[in-house]
């Protein structure tokens, strides 16, 4: 019964001045799904990078498949039977699916490659996990979930019996995630061990056999999933008990319409969408991926050109043709991809906060650096952004803190209408809660908030009103001021 396939003993790792892992021990049984939970910065990624040979542990041992291993590179990890699927896909976009699965290992015998055999093998690998993907097409043409399937096929092609998945569902739609889960249970049947790293409690509880929680580089608990509860796990992740997953709002919305969008069209993704949002209201936008949610807020923000449509702000018709127009009219957009679209990562926090209103810190053409720092300090303090100083570069911040910088930037820009696109994606539980509180606080302060989320509970827990999009059209609208809307009705509306 206790067939241990992977055992990490007393692993410690120190980075300059920071103890990333402190005496972490972990044992994983053959054929189980072992979830690892923890907030960002808890040491999950570091632990996995040590497993993969990207980092070397300062001390400790790794036993894999019954042998003591000294893993120094991903290659050696593969040889030892372990594969990791990282959040950022390890695929070469320009090459074919088959080639990606066998990247660097195409040759079987002789010098000449046998493409037919390679493609056949790849097809088999894909079929094994129930993925129907043509092995000949380029990876750049695949959807996110298809890429994930290719990653899994690639991992299995190394004959791995331990597969680590780092936040595999973060960028998947729910249907795609379901697919992934069924693949994982298939793997389990084949006695392949899966180490599953995730923030999402639902998934962890649905999938895993055991759960290990990391906090601040220490393994705080390991328990069988059926013997623990969601609340317990969250509590040990954040180190305190959480009363509610969603904070309760103090204020109420008003009747004053701040923004009215009418008949907006952008082919082929938006067909005649109209909506309005009131002062102090949180409007949730639900819908399937591809329903046009992101496209809608981007169009309203002027990030993409629209073919038709009017935008009225505080009763006055406005022409919003570029983000600059939007900002001038007090509209803000928090993008779903904060690293690529939200922040200039290699720039300091202060310069990211002042970015929308550089004019405000300029005197006679010169930037007042002191003033800029003062503003940055004010906002980092207000939002409790953890950083060494306000001139620290954003790359070095955790996901949650990065998102807070994005929020700070729009707060400083004095936006009245906030468009939030997946504001909590890839953020740990603790920071999520803080972001929720901020969303509430902003609404209480009289801002109008439009929030897109793929996590239905988030929409249900926060919004005053819910708009459901389906194939670029409004499919339904639900009152939710007293949190009375149900997941079922919204979902059936979204499916259309």
Residues 131-160 that bind another protein (CB under 8 A): 143, 145
Cα separation, 154 vs 173, in Å, equals: 22
Using the contact rule CB under 8 A, the part of the chain among 240-248, 301-309, 375-383, 438-446 near another protein is 301-309
Q: Which of 109, 244, 365, 370 binds another protein (CB under 8 A)?
A: 365
What's the DSSP call for residue 96?
A: B
Q: Is 120 in the site for another protein (CB under 8 A)?
A: no
Q: Which is nearer to another protein, 279 or 406 (CB)?
A: 406
Q: Is 116 in the site for another protein (CB under 8 A)?
A: no
35-45 residues labelled b (16+ CB within 10 A) or e (exposed): bbbbbbbbbbb
Residues 73-112: x where in contact with another protein by CB under 8 A, - otherwise, as a string: xxx--x-----------xxxxxx---x---xxxxx---xx
Q: Which is nearer to another protein, 242 or 341 (CB)?
A: 341
Cα separation, 476 vs 59, in Å, equals: 57
Q: Which of 250, 268, 316, 484 binds another protein (CB under 8 A)?
A: 268
Cα separation, 233 vs 429, in Å, equals: 11
Cα separation, 229 vs 135, in Å, equals: 42
Cα separation, 484 vs 249, in Å, equals: 15
Q: Which of 5, 8, 11, 20 binds another protein (CB under 8 A)?
A: 20
State the minimum distance, in angstroms, from the CB of residue 256 to another protein. 26
Q: Which is nearer to another protein, 279 or 409 (CB)?
A: 409
State the minimum distance, in angstroms, from the CB of residue 54 to another protein. 8
Using the contact rule CB under 8 A, the part of the chain among 3-11, 129-137, 256-264, 359-367 near another protein is 359-367
Residues with Cβ within 8 Å of residue 101, at least 6 apart in sequence: 121, 122, 125, 126, 135, 150, 153, 154, 157
Cα separation, 38 vs 45, in Å, equals: 10
State the minimum distance, in angstroms, from the CB of residue 11 to another protein. 15
Whether the Cβ atoms of residue 278 and residue 469 lie closer than 8 Å to each other: no
Q: Could you write out the three-class secondary structure of 102-152?
A: CCCCCCCCCCCCCHHHHHHHHHHHHHHCCCCCCCCCEHHHCCHHHHHHHHH
Residues 420-459: x where in contact with another protein by CB under 8 A, - otherwise, as a string: ----------------------------------xxxx--
Whether the Cβ atoms of residue 308 and residue 264 lie closer than 8 Å to each other: yes
**Helix segments in 354-466, DSSP class H:** 369-382, 399-412, 429-444, 456-462
Strand, helix or coil for residue 48: helix
Residues with Cβ within 8 Å of residue 389, at least 6 apart in sequence: none
Q: Which is nearer to another protein, 253 or 288 (CB)?
A: 288
Q: Which of 4, 206, 241, 445 binds another protein (CB under 8 A)?
A: 206
Q: Is 326 in the site for another protein (CB under 8 A)?
A: yes
State the minimum distance, in angstroms, from the CB of residue 306 to another protein. 13
Binding residues for another protein restricted to 207-266, rule: CB under 8 A: none
Q: Which of 366, 370, 482, 484 binds another protein (CB under 8 A)?
A: 366
Using the contact rule CB under 8 A, the part of the chain among 30-38, 67-75, 160-168, 436-444 near another protein is 67-75
Q: Which is nearer to another protein, 263 or 328 (CB)?
A: 328
Task: Number of residues interacting with another protein: please give it, by CB under 8 A.
Answer: 89
- DSSP assignments along 51-68, one per residue: HTTSS--SEEEEEETTEE
Q: Is 359 in the site for another protein (CB under 8 A)?
A: yes
Which residue do the tokens 């509970």 mark? 457
Q: Is 197 in the site for another protein (CB under 8 A)?
A: no
Using the contact rule CB under 8 A, the part of the chain among 29-37, 220-228, 247-255, 341-349 near another protein is 341-349
Residues with Cβ within 8 Å of residue 236, at least 6 apart in sequence: 213, 215, 220, 221
- Give me the sign of the Cα torsion angle 187, 190, 191, 192: negative
Using the contact rule CB under 8 A, the part of the chain among 188-196, 364-372, 374-382, 435-443 near another protein is 364-372
Q: Which of 304, 308, 477, 479 binds another protein (CB under 8 A)?
A: 304
């Amino acid at each position: 019964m206790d067939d241990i396939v992977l055992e990490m003993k007393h692993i410690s790792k120190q980075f300059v001045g920071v103890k990333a892992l402190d005496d972490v021990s972990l044992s994983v049984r053959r054929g189980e799904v072992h979830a690892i939970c923890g907030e960002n910065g808890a040491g999950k990624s570091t632990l996995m990078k040590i497993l993969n040979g990207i980092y070397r542990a300062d001390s400790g041992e790794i036993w894999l498949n019954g042998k003591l291993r000294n893993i120094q590179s991903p290659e050696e990890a593969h040889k030892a039977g372990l594969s990791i699927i990282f959040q950022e896909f390890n695929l070469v976009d320009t090459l074919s699916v088959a080639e990606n699965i066998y990247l660097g290992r195409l040759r079987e015998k002789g010098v000449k490659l046998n493409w037919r055999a390679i493609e056949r093998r790849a097809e088999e690998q894909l079929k094994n996990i129930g993925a129907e993907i043509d092995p000949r097409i380029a990876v750049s043409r695949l959807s996110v979930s298809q890429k994930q399937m290719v990653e899994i096929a690639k991992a299995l092609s190394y004959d791995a019996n331990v597969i680590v998945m780092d936040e595999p569902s973060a960028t998947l739609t729910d249907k795609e995630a379901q697919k992934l889960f069924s693949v994982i249970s298939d793997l389990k049947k084949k006695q392949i061990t899966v180490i599953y790293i995730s923030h999402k409690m639902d998934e962890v509880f649905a999938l895993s056999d055991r759960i290990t929680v990391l906090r601040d580089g220490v393994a705080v608990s390991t328990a069988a999933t059926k013997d623990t509860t969601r609340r317990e796990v969250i509590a040990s992740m954040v180190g305190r008990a959480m009363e509610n997953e969603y904070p309760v709002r103090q204020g109420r919305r008003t009747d004053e319409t701040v923004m009215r969008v009418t008949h907006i069209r952008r082919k082929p993704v938006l067909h005649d969408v109209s909506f309005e949002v009131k002062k102090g209201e949180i409007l949730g936008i639900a819908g399937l991926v591809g329903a046009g949610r992101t496209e809608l807020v981007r169009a309203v923000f002027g990030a993409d050109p629209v073919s038709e449509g009017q935008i009225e702000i505080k009763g006055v018709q406005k022409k919003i043709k570029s983000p600059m127009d939007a900002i001038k009219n007090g509209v803000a957009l928090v993008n779903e991809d904060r690293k690529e679209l939200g922040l200039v990562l290699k720039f300091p926090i202060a310069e990211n906060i002042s970015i929308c209103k550089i004019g405000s810190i300029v005197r006679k053409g010169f930037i007042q650096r002191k003033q800029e720092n003062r503003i940055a300090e004010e906002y980092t303090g207000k939002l409790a952004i953890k950083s060494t100083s306000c001139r620290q570069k954003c790359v070095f911040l955790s996901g949650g803190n990065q998102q807070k910088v994005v929020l700070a930037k729009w707060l400083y820009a004095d936006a009245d209408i906030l468009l939030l696109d997946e504001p909590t994606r890839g953020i740990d539980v603790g920071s999520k809660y803080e972001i929720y509180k901020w969303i509430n606080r902003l609404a209480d302060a009289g801002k109008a908030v439009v929030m897109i989320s793929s996590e239905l509970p988030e929409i249900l827990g926060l919004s005053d009103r819910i708009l459901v999009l389906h194939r670029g059209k409004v499919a339904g609208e639900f009152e939710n001021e007293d949190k009375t809307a149900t997941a079922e009705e919204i979902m059936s509306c979204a499916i259309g």
